[in-house]
Structure 1
């Protein structure tokens, strides 16, 4: 099938995305082809352009958040059929490996290859300029169609609108799960969330769902501080210094119960800032991606150990995609989860570089590419 897609030919150089003709193969064993309705614009794709996530190969078809309708089913696919509405999960879940069987499908063994530049079988499904193209996270949702592994596709209720559903494949569960599962927020907790973009705003929703008493958000962008109130933030502030003073007064010097880091790029100093805000026995959750080669972190190890705190890394919000994607979709349908409110602006695929510029400048909570078929 010939269509168009947004490709990155020189990763790590801030060269931007090239929208051009691509060819997508039909599905092979345990694969499906999906006609996409929309794709989210996520910071992880921008990390490929900036080099925060380095790639030793090119080109790459970007995009790892999408929702659409199955148009073709490959051999040995038994749980999906043409016409099914699906969300694409940026991390696959095979359901058979040690991590999946243990209930930790966010760390499925298949996930190790999401940036390998191939389909799971080591071949290409996408081609451009006579070359094989690697898809982001086996998906490549910066194109109107995608041929993807069935393990990276989750069926949802057809009554759920596909445009907001496109966000449920990465940023939404990553943020929400960081509060609900990774931080294990308890009723009445005081919570601090660093960063209220496409991930952090959903950490705010998760904290509200868990019954946190105080939800302090830290973001330098005034627009995001104001929006955070809509999602459940009780005290939006602009800086760590403001948060520290507020937490000191709010907890009588004890500190926050949970501190969650969901900034755009995690730098070495932010973990210690989180540590300073966290009470004895409290939990720090690091969800934000850091530059891959970063090794230096400022951290008071002595006080951390002596105060019995926990530093918890969180991949994909520690969620189970097969369970939590339909759960979030149903919560949205029932008016218990905000998805429409996350979408600040929609774009055509041809405007993808404008969309990423808006993301970097903090103009959007979420930008979404919409496909016309």
Structure 2
């Protein structure tokens, strides 16, 4: 087996991503080598290069992916050669305080880790991998708890989306907001995560799902996902949402952008006693301002949803079954199928708010 592969690397902060030849590490005990077959282009990858996050370099981009196990190390018990797997970029250790208290999505060994070294090298120098994965490459080496087996009948491009966009958006609705039948839901930001939240809200029985985006071309995608209303984002968003919700505001707002301005808009468009769930990951210096009086008088709940507040080992296989059973349709989420060399152009489309998910196929 070749110990070299091609990967998409950012060498230093501020430089463009480029395809380079990387030397793969030897596989160690408890590790798994996966041949990447599909990888989604996620906004978190863009955050690694646009200044929102400051990861170490050189850096292999990509984290939302699926592939086939081609090698396993000693003592591996949860994967075997030939398995089709989804990669988990925030695997739970199952032994820290958070894992033992039912919050594996906040696992102290992986939560908040932007990038790691894993033995990969470029010109004999260490290379970091995004969120411990580095999926914009032909292969990855990860610990066995970072792979989750899915049925081989599930297409790789759809399986890849389960590892981030679908799990995050669906989990925000099911696990964090806990949307109930008959409620109204506002979703702001219609990328892959936001469209997944729209679909999950309708599946949860929401009577009204109002989808919001700055790009009016997202209307068709929103309707395909199950939105009952589409609203182009504007300064009058709160007034518009209230006019559609008996003047009260939405029961739930799911913010999938990660900006103070859109969190504030979600807050204002939610009814008294409603809940705002923040899914988008924002910048450290983008400050949100709420007065002490409005926090008290509005009686609203403001929460974050990290990785869908999900136990990935349980929920990714369940989502895979839903896709195969026809309960969860994902095809509309993939608007572009591309190669590794096309990822920078996909970032440009994402920055302009175009399309839903671009998926690299290998």
Q: Residues 212 and 240 of structure 1: is their aligned pair in 2 closer, same or farther, counting only changes over 3 Å?
A: farther
Cα shift at 1:51: 1.0
Paired residue secondary structure (1:236):
strand
Distance 1:242 1:112 in 2: 36
Picking from 178, 192, 201, the partner of 1:184 is: 178
Q: Which runs of 5+ in 1 are unaligned?
A: 119-123
Distance 1:65 1:97 in 2: 24
Distance 1:101 1:65 in 2: 26
Deviations 1:140-166 (A, max 9, x none): 111011101111111111111112101
| Matching residue of 1:312 | 303
Aligned 8 A contact 2:90 2:111 in 1: no
Q: Tell me which moved more, 302-311 or 17-26.
A: 302-311
Cα shift at 1:246: 3.6
TM-score, normalised via structure 1 length: 0.93
Question: In the alignment, is residue 335 of structure 1 matched against residue 326 of structure 2?
Answer: yes
| Matching residue of 1:23 | 23
Q: Tell me which moved more, 235-244 or 270-279.
A: 235-244
Paired residue secondary structure (1:117):
strand
Paired residue secondary structure (2:206):
coil
Distance 1:194 1:242 in 2: 14
Aligned 8 A contact 2:239 2:269 in 1: no
Cα shift at 1:185: 0.6
| Matching residue of 1:208 | 202
Picking from 121, 136, 140, the partner of 2:130 is: 136
The number of equivalent residue pairs is 360
Aligned 8 A contact 2:41 2:346 in 1: yes
Aligned 8 A contact 2:259 2:280 in 1: no
Paired residue secondary structure (1:364):
coil
Aligned 8 A contact 1:154 1:322 in 2: yes
Distance 1:269 1:115 in 2: 24
Aligned 8 A contact 1:280 1:307 in 2: yes
Paired residue secondary structure (1:82):
coil
| Matching residue of 1:121 | none
Cα shift at 1:341: 1.6
Q: Which runs of 5+ in 2 are unaligned?
A: none
Distance 2:161 2:215 in 1: 22
Distance 2:248 2:342 in 1: 48
Q: Residues 227 and 58 of structure 1: is their aligned pair in 2 closer, same or farther, counting only changes over 3 Å?
A: same
Aligned 8 A contact 1:54 1:292 in 2: no
Aligned 8 A contact 2:105 2:111 in 1: no
| Matching residue of 2:338 | 347
Paired residue secondary structure (2:192):
coil
| Matching residue of 1:153 | 147
Cα shift at 1:113: 6.4
Alignment of 1:164-313 (within 5 A): 164-241=158-235, 243-263=237-257, 266-294=258-286, 296-313=287-304
TM-score, normalised via structure 2 length: 0.95
Alignment of 1:78-157 (within 5 A): 78-112=77-111, 114-118=113-117, 124-157=118-151
Deviations 1:173-214 (A, max 9, x none): 111111111111111011111101111001101111111101
Aligned 8 A contact 1:218 1:239 in 2: yes
Paired residue secondary structure (1:359):
helix
Distance 2:234 2:291 in 1: 17
